[in-house]
Amino acid sequence: MTVAYVSHSDCGRHDTGWKHPEHVGRLRAIPRALRNDFDLFDTIEHREGRHATAEEIGLAHDAAYVEQVRALAEAGGGRLDGDTVVSEGSWDAATAGAGCVLDAIDWAFDGSVVRSFCAVRPPGHHALRAAGMGFCLFGNIGIGALYARARHAAARVLIVDWDVHHGNGTQDLVQHEPGIRFVSMHQSPWYPGSGAADDRGPRGTIWNVPMAPDLVPQVYVDALLAAVDAATAQWTPDLVLVSAGFDCLAGDPLGGFTLELEHIEALTRALVTRAEAWCGGRMVTALEGGYDPVRLGDACVTHLRALR
Ligand SMILES: [Zn+2]
């Protein structure tokens, strides 16, 4: 089973500064951890993704917002909100982040690489249709879901988000699309404040799973998988996309969940098993949060091992 580790050197050019929790050291920690696992390092395929085009990003975002990000980066950078930085390299980073996901989706459908993990930044799941938010510029996974529908005629795309924060941006990008279902488990109450269980979206295609912090970790695993199974009852996905935020791990500075590496492994394997039954195993996962770089590196290694 070929699994790809997909990234792009431009993702390191999104310069938020070292005092920002979403700094470039997060991404550097992943190959560092991977190199310590010789067996895994040799058996996965290392691929560099492409840049998404403005038109592809426009599948999910307003053209005027896409142009705003491009122009701000070209002018040297600035801020979209108090947390969300655009630097000179951010356009190249953000289009590379989305492009890695789109390439991985192309490979999943042409059969060359059935499963991929995209180590990308900036993250994406808070980015709204017409605004950046919460460290996120473009909704990499939301764009991917809409691209899979448009480019590969995928009838049904499932998105699973286990980042500790609600994927409000992803919900905003996909909630009007009947062929996309979105399952998000997140701490509540917590940033960004949305994602109540009774918010099912305008078409009933959203499964929000708000959870208290500090619970026994298996409770989170069971709750997320129960929602995945509810979302896929009599509805068989053609592709599984995962917003893999590792700020759900115990000790993360920006979250209060309690998951350990074994729970990342369990969640990954449970989704792989389901994807094998649904759609030949097609699954593309992309990094979202995770703000303890060493833990993040270890979690990505665990996640990649479980994707095989
Ligand atoms: Zn997060």
Going 130 to 128 to 110 to 152, the CA torsion angle's sign is negative
DSSP letter (8 states) at residue 127: -
Ligand 1 midpoint to CA 185 (Å): 11
Instruction: Give distance in angstroms: CA of 59 to centre of ligand 1.
Output: 24
Which residues have a catalytic role annotated?
126
pLDDT, position 219 = 98
pLDDT of residue 291: 98
* CA 112 to centroid of ligand 1, rounded, Å: 31
Say yes or no to pLDDT of 1 above 80: no
pLDDT, tens digit, 9 for 90 and up, residues 44-95:
999 999 999 999 999 999 999 999 999 999 999 999 999 999 999 999 999 9
- 147-161 pLDDT, tens digit per residue, is 999 999 999 999 999
- Ion ligand 1 neighbours, Cβ < 5 Å: 163, 165, 245, 247, 289
% of the chain surpassing 90 pLDDT:
99
Q: How far is the CA of 211 from the centre of ligand 1 (A)?
A: 14
**pLDDT of the residue at 245:** 98
Helix (H, G, I), strand (E, B) or coil at 187: strand
For the stretch 273-287, pLDDT in tens is: 999 999 999 999 999
Q: Distance between CA atoms of 178 and 190, rounded to whole angstroms? A: 28
Using the mean position of ligand 1's atoms as its centre, give its distance from the Cα of residue 167 in Å: 8
What's the rounded mean pLDDT across residues 213-238? Answer: 98
Q: Which two tokens stand for residue 213?
A: 């912090």
> Which pLDDT score, from 0 to 100, does residue 253 have?
98
pLDDT for position 164: 98
- What would the pLDDT profile of 240-276 be if each residue is shown by its tens digit? 999 999 999 999 999 999 999 999 999 999 999 999 9
192 prior amide bond cis, ω within 30: yes
Across residues 167-189, what is the average pLDDT?
98
Q: How far is the CA of 291 from the centre of ligand 1 (A)?
A: 9
Distance 164 CA to ligand 1 centre (A): 5
pLDDT given at position 2: 87
pLDDT of res. 148: 98
What is the average pLDDT score of the chain? 98
User: In the 3-class helix/strand/coil scheme, how is the chain assigned residue by residue?
Assistant: CCEEEEECHHHHHCCCCCCCCCCCHHHHHHHHHHHCCHHHHHHCEEEECCCCCHHHHCCCCCHHHHHHHHHHHHCCEEECCCCCEEECCHHHHHHHHHHHHHHHHHHHHHCCCCEEEECCCCCCCCCECCECECCECCCHHHHHHHHHHHHHCCCCEEEEECCCCCCHHHHHHHCCCCCEEEEEEEECCCCCCCCCCCCCCCCCCEEEEEECCCCCHHHHHHHHHHHHHHHCCCCCCCEEEEEECHHHECCCCCCCCCECHHHHHHHHHHHHHHHHHHHCCCEEEEECCCCCHHHHHHHHHHHHHHHC
